[in-house]
Amino acid sequence: MSDIAGELARVREAFDKPTLRLLDRKWAPFVLAVFKSSFSRERRSVSCEALHTQVDAYLADLRSIGLDAPEKTGRALCVQWMNDLWLYREISDAGEEHYSLTSHALEALLLVDGLARDRALISESRLTTIVDTVRHRATEANPDREERVRRLDQQIHELSSERDRLSDGGDIEPASNEQMHEGYANLINLIQQLPSDFKRVEESVAAMHRQIVNDFRGEERPISEVLDDYLAKTDALMSSTAEGRAFEGAFTLLRNDALLQGLKADLETILLHPFALELSRTERRSFMSTVTLIRKGIDDVLTQRKGLTTTLREHIVNHDVVKDRELERVLRDVNRELATWMQTAGPRSTVTAELMPGTLDVEHLHERFYDPVAHRAPPALADVSGAAPAAPSLDALRQQGGPLLQELRDALVAAFGTGEAASIGSAFNGLDASLRRPVEILGLLQLAAQLSPGTAGLERFETVRPDGSVRFFEVPRLILTDDDTAALAAQNLGSEND
């Protein structure tokens, strides 16, 4: 009996997957064209509102040139594509919603790009890659020590012979443009599969996330057993799926920074070959961003895994098992009472039940009860007047204050009236110590500013602070005339003597 029935079941299962469902739809070319135009390697996600607007613009462009297009709006189409598992909607750290392509959409785009490519991929480069990979895996799989040593000796001999030939001045056969194009096409085919591979790992982690949360919420076991089970699932998270195991193996290799730097240098060397002049600017830029593509894919998977751990930790910390069990007990009592009531109720019997309790009509609700302690008088203050220092005298307080303008006027009038002072500085230095505080200099300058006396260089003022210490200051030399002295005397007598 043939196995056509089994093959048919497997084919139908494949057609039920979102990738082939996308290619089997009427508007598949339009959907893939939108994905191709809106997303790229550098633009991995698009804000929801921006994509809705872009799809509306694409629809309007197609209708304006007479081409058939879906009748729905951009928003409705994006929601439909999200339900079909071709778009994934997520919220960024800034709180904005973004769309990104799922692994199924990326696989469909990759398949269409492969079918649209003119260059055949069955080439010397691809066959050499297959042969080298098979040889490497066969060496690792063979447990025979002597056979493995023989293979290594053969490789060492081949490499040593080539090195010696080049060291002796042997010719270097340059790769032709055709060979480089074949190798480049092979590399591009492998590189283009990376985004969908990384996206599958992300989706696998997200699915594991949802499964663990659902299992955790549905548990009726003690919290300690649930935590143990959660930790066990977390430890085996990346090894329980094929995508996770593949990523773990690749991550062990690709987290080597020296390896990635060497890969970047090799990519630059390839583009230095003359064949690269036939590539477009976009192709060269895309080829050189391979390392960035790898790093971004790894970071996205690690971010998804970190989000899983953070969400589950917060769920475990905030999950109140007691409240959940109380709610479950109340619902169980409601079901039991409902079964009792149904034993006597007729087929059209009804019962009025409030879904939410009514509100209370209370004018004022006390937020706290009366506390007699709050109205108790505070304890009396201790009498510490005996320890108080002696009150300062009026003269001591005045010594700490501003300049004594009236006393300074009298002193200047007396000094200049008798001809004993040649300048304000000489008059100041001859005053009593109580009038030679540093602040008195400011008073003298204020009085002089009202008279506009002449200046002639600098002179030294010898001041005495209230504690008896002496300080010297350099002040412009001011000289008062007889008219200035008369003006000062008139200020002390008052306005009635003008």
* Cα–chain center distance at 134: 43
Over residues 385-391, the mean pLDDT reads 84
Question: Residue 343 — pLDDT band, cuts 50, 70, 90?
Answer: confident
At 498 the pLDDT is: 44
- Say which residue, 70 or 188, is predicted with more confidence: 70
Q: Mind listing the pLDDT tens digit for each residue in 410-427?
A: 888 888 777 767 788 888
For 225-267, the pLDDT digits (tens) are 666 666 666 566 556 655 566 566 666 666 777 777 887 888 8
Q: What tens digit of pLDDT does each residue of 83-126 get?
A: 888 888 887 767 788 888 888 888 888 777 767 665 545 555 56
Residue 74 one-letter amino acid: G
Average pLDDT over residues 216-232: 61
pLDDT tens digits along 140-151: 777 788 888 888
Distance between CA atoms of 18 and 82, rounded to whole angstroms?
Answer: 11
Letter string b/e over residues 286-299, b meaning 16 or more CB atoms within 10 A of that residue's CB: bbebbeebbebbbe
> What's the angle, vertex CA 461, arms to CA 457 and CA 464, rounded to 5?
170
- To the nearest whole percent, how much of the chain has pLDDT over 90? 1
Instruction: Report the distance separating Cα 498 and Cα 496, nearest Å.
Output: 6
- In the chain, count H helices and then E strands: 21, 5
Rounded mean pLDDT of 286-299? 78
Share of the chain above pLDDT 70, in %: 81
> Is the four-CA dihedral 55, 60, 63, 65 of positive or negative sign?
negative
Q: Has residue 301 got a pLDDT over 70? A: yes
> How far apart are the C-alpha atoms of 330 and 347, rounded to whole Å?
25
**CB contact at 8 A, 81 and 31:** yes
Span 13-64, pLDDT tens digits: 777 777 778 887 788 888 888 888 888 777 778 888 889 998 989 888 888 8
Average pLDDT over the chain, rounded to an integer: 77
Please name the residue that has the structure tokens 């479950």: 328
Q: Where are the alpha helices (DSSP H) in 236-384?
A: 242-254, 257-271, 281-288, 290-318, 321-342
Q: How far apart are CA 102 and CA 195, in angstroms?
A: 10
Model pLDDT, residue 123: 57
Q: How confident is the model at residue 1 (pLDDT cuts 50, 70, 90)?
A: very low
Rounded to whole angstroms, the Cα distance separating 258 from 254 reads 9
**Whole-angstrom Cα distance, residue 136 to residue 165?**
25
Rounded to an integer, what distance in angstroms lies between the CA atom of residue 287 and that of residue 264? 10
Which has more pLDDT, 469 or 308?
469
What DSSP string runs through 203-224? HHHHHHHHHHHHHHHT--S-HH
Residue 227 has a pLDDT of: 62
pLDDT band for position 72 (cuts 50, 70, 90): confident
Q: How confident is the model at residue 497 (pLDDT cuts 50, 70, 90)?
A: very low
Q: Residue 68 is which amino acid?
A: D
What pLDDT, in 10s, does the model give residues 466-489?
888 899 998 888 887 777 777 777
Strand runs (DSSP E) across 420-490, as ranges?
454-464, 470-479
